[in-house]
Amino acid sequence: MVEVTVTPQSSLADRAVQVVVRGLSPSQLVTLRAWLTDEHGERFQARAFYRADEAGEVDAAQHAALGGNYAGVWPMGLFWFLQPDSLFRRLVKRDVAGSPFLVHLEVFDGLCLVTGPQDKLLASCTAERWYVGPGVQRVPIREGRVRGALLLPPGPGPFPAVIDLFGGAGGLIEFRAGLLASRGFAVLALAFFAYDDLPRTLTQLDLEYFEEAANLLLQHPKVRGPGLGVVGVSKGGEVALAMAAFLPQVVATVWINGTAFLHGNPLTYKGLHIPPIPYYTERMLFTELGAMDNSAIFADPRDPACSASAIPVEKIQGKVLFVVGEADRSFNSKLFAQLATARMRQDAYRLLSYPGAGHLIEPPGSPLCSVSSLRGSPRPVVWGGEPQAHAKAQEHSWQEIIQFLELHLGPAASIKL
């Protein structure tokens, strides 16, 4: 009797699980397939080919995949290398509190390149991958101008506080906030355009909005101050760096593949105006699949004409963790990080730089998205990255991010799941 198990069967999406197949014949060739359907009905799947050992077992933590979506020993390969059936789809959990992703694991006899009725299914099981741990509370935020969602760990607190920001797609994205809340942080997933009654498009960065959000979070009775952290990716990284420069309550900043200058939109704050560097959209290139490669639309930030648009990072009083994907095709994030750190005190930052990692460095469990459709963009956008290097970068950087936030905000109580 062939059996496939995932242990634990229910887990947080950033935690490792053990995938084991038992009851096979010695040296039997099998195909392991994982698949899930997202909230839009899009299917993502990965498969790998294994040969059972002398005991008739396949243990993904010990045995090398011979081929498929990956090769070699990848204990989490069936989860990390999921790919969409349709081009240009990105796997993003929207309803973080209401349901998990259900990942179906199947074992087929022999080499199964595409799944059809002729394939011999030997065993199957289902694993739950949650983006919040038990007891995490989600509170919609609509106070003053601030729009978002507050994710609170179980218990009375007080908890270290973090604001979580995404980029140019706008809207409200909560999956990283849910995972951070499950690590013991009180996290405000903050929208800043294209959500609720916020502006539909981003015309300027009004830093007073982000200051209002920071003060609102710090006033919460379950939040431990006096400072807070900010995590931002892409445009959110640009915002996070500006918050660190101007808002003294920001004591720990995680910048993921952002910039160090204002681009496309000016920054305003209490009479201050930082002009943006314009985008040179006529320089974009189209890939063979018709996606936009935007890496050339940025002016060289080393040009003296760009100096007025620099975020004044030398004013940052807290600490900054720069996370760089060296294969970022959205923009030259490594250069922006180097230019920023050159103007900062050496004890004010750490720089993590990952060869082969793309733009969308996320918690482990999010498969590489190297190109995807983007709200407001007429064509899909290239993000870059190589699957295996990107997966390793996500696993390593996530642990570093959590340790960095705990170091500078105080310890957080992680939830077991």
CA–CA distance, 374 with 383 (Å, rounded to integer): 11
CA–CA distance, 364 with 121 (Å, rounded to integer): 29
- How many other CB atoms are found less than 10 A from the CB of residue 89? 19
Q: How far is CA 97 from CA 128, 213, 416, in A?
A: 13, 22, 16
Active-site residue, from 11, 182, 234, 366: 234
Nearest 5°: CA angle at 278, between 272 and 281? 155
**396 is annotated as an active-site residue:** no
Active-site residue, from 14, 164, 293, 328: 328
Residue pair 412/159 in contact (Cβ under 8 Å)? The answer is yes
Residues paired with 24 in a beta bridge = none
> Residue 257: left (phi > 0), alpha (psi -120 to 50), or beta?
left
CA–CA distance, 143 with 164 (Å, rounded to integer): 17
Q: At what angle do helices 235-246 and 207-218 cross, to 10 degrees?
A: 70
**196 is annotated as an active-site residue:** no
Polymer length of the chain: 417
243 half-sphere exposure, CB direction, 13 A CA radius: 33
CA–CA distance, 170 with 166 (Å, rounded to integer): 7
DSSP state of 24: P
Q: Is 168 helix (H, G, I), strand (E, B) or coil?
A: coil
Q: Is 218 helix (H, G, I), strand (E, B) or coil?
A: helix
Residues contacting 275, CB < 8 A, separation 6+ = 262, 266, 308, 309
Token reading at 382: 């290239």
**11 is annotated as an active-site residue:** no
* Edge-first strand listing for the sheet containing 267-269: 205-206, 267-269, 272-274
CA–CA distance, 253 with 22 (Å, rounded to integer): 46
Residue pair 243/207 in contact (Cβ under 8 Å)? The answer is yes
Active-site residue, from 359, 370, 372, 390: 359
389 φ, ψ (degrees, to nearest 5): -65, -40
The residues that are catalytic are: 234, 328, 359
